[in-house]
Amino acid sequence: MTQGETQAMTGTGFGLAIDGLSISRPNGMPLVGDATFTIGPSEVVLLVGPSGCGKSTIVKLLGGLLETEKGDWHVSGHLNCAGRTIDLATENSSVGGIVFQDHALFNDLSALENLRIAADHADGSGDPVLIANAAALLGDIDPNASVASCSGGQRQRLAIARTLLADRPVLLFDEPNSGLDVPMARRLGELIRGLCRDMGKPALIVAHHVKDLLPIADRVLLFDTRSHRLVSMPPDAEAIEAELLKLGDGAEPTAMAAGHSAGTPAAAPGNPWTAAVGHRPKLYWFARYIAEYFWVLCASPLMLIYMGIGGLIMGFVSMWFGFNYNSLGGYLKSLLHDETLVGLGFVQNTIAVPLVSSILFVARNNAIIAADIGNRVLSSQFKAMENLRIAARLYIFSAILINMVAGALLLLLLSLAAASWSSMHTWHVQFPQQHFELWRSQFFQRVLTDGLWPSPNMAWVVVKVALSALLAGLAAIAIGSRRKDSGIAISTGIAQSIIAGVTVTLLVHAAVSVITL
């Protein structure tokens, strides 16, 4: 540790010190060997090195996202931060709040909700200083805007503001200037420098294009892939470039990619963000996701029309073909009318409509679930939620399963009602001389007790519809949660989810129907 580093660590705020850090890849190859470094309070340090050397792995480690429990990565060493010593071999560090390279904003939430959910799950929830610092970055952004409507620079600042509200001791940036033009990259660097100075927080920035971030850096850590060490260097562009060339980095450190440019944050008085962040209990967010998925999976107008049309078709088909294309034929159709109507009512309400309703429901919703979760995996949203200490899987997966079961039953009622209405009118076309009361008394004879209450047969209908929806939802979640590297992987997951869900539905309905016969 140098004299300057020691002085930095004894200043105000919290610093970060790592001693004897070693990281091995899942295949046993060493990534880092016995590395020791510090970052003082308010200090900005760049982490540079050849492409793919493992810079982002260190960020994941400090952010608590490196999977070590299942033997994937092997880590040893000690971390000191905020008065706490962590054994990295056995404990999760999670001292760093990560600003992801692709922002990892929650695109189903508004710009304001992205900040609210972070603030509500932070240890220092409601801290006015944090809120003020975050709000100062967002004066030109409409709080109610969708993430998709924000420019690249605005999304970058939203991601930074969200991480600030998480209130971690260390700020971690994973290639924040990737995709930004030179002026915007320099403004971003100045923004980070100002935040660290004002809040007393250290920052570690993973950088590939380093030139425009060097003016705001206090030091540079070079990832030496030959010795597997982190070497401290002064922020000198020529010296860094020379070292990177020795390590075989083919990228030009001074190159910058073109991208969106957004103006510097407006510091207008009466910034609406300051008062809007507020504080809500965590139960609010669980209810928020329940409501979101209820609309998407159950109550959207298109879904209601889709399920209603399915019920209308089933009612017509079962009644029309039940009377016209069977072994009765001719005058026997009228002679055995009552018995046929009883049988058709039983089959339609306990087997045909529940099965078709479940297949339609599961096929549509399994595709939606696999696409939604696959997108969250591909865009690092689950990782961002984990870093923000948001119970993503509890919120999202529970909301999905609750709505799958509840929605399947509610939409079964809609399908049964539509099918019954269609059956009644199809029957009346064939037997116009008969009264509707005759249809009602015969059609529901084995379905309703005393003409009003569901019979025990309908209890088994509820069981198979609810069970098939639950198992199909679990299959969709499992398939959607697999690692996704591209949009094609998401599309493949959608197809697999539909097949798995429909197969499970057929098996459950067949098994329950056979058991209850």
The tens place of each residue's pLDDT in the chain, 517 residues long, gives 443 443 334 334 578 899 998 888 877 788 888 888 889 998 999 998 877 777 888 888 889 888 765 557 888 999 998 788 899 888 888 888 999 888 999 999 999 999 999 989 987 656 787 888 888 888 888 999 999 999 888 898 899 999 988 888 999 998 887 766 777 778 888 888 888 988 888 999 988 777 778 888 898 988 887 877 888 888 877 777 777 777 664 433 332 232 333 333 444 456 778 778 878 888 999 999 999 999 999 999 999 999 999 999 999 999 988 877 655 555 545 556 788 888 899 999 999 999 999 999 999 999 999 999 999 999 999 999 999 999 888 999 999 999 999 999 999 999 999 999 999 999 999 888 888 888 888 889 888 887 678 888 889 999 999 999 999 999 999 999 999 888 899 999 999 999 999 999 999 999 998 888 6
**Nearest residue to 15 via CA among 262, 201, 270:** 201
Tell me the C-alpha distance between 35 and 57, whole Å: 14
Provide the pLDDT for residue 68. Answer: 62
Tokens of 99: 């600003």
Provide the pLDDT for residue 11. Answer: 39
CA dihedral 296, 302, 308, 313 (to 10 degrees): -130
State whether residue 486 is helix, strand or coil. coil
Asked if 349 contacts 322 with a C-beta cutoff of 8 angstroms, the reply is no
Provide the pLDDT for residue 253. Answer: 33
Tell me the C-alpha distance between 355 and 373, whole Å: 26
The distance from CA 171 to its chain's CA centroid, rounded to whole angstroms, is 22
Tell me the C-alpha distance between 184 and 337, whole Å: 79
Q: For the chain, what is the radius of gyration of the CA atoms?
A: 30
Provide the pLDDT for residue 436. Answer: 87
Residues 6+ apart with CB under 8 A from 443: 341, 342, 344, 345, 420, 423, 424, 427
Cite the residue boundaries of each domain of the chain with CATH code 3.40.50.300: 41-69+92-280
Tell me the C-alpha distance between 457 and 294, whole Å: 28
Given this structure, which CATH class describes domain 41-69+92-280? alpha beta
Q: Rounded to two decimals, what is the model's pTM?
A: 0.84
Provide the pLDDT for residue 266. Answer: 41
Provide the pLDDT for residue 127. Answer: 72
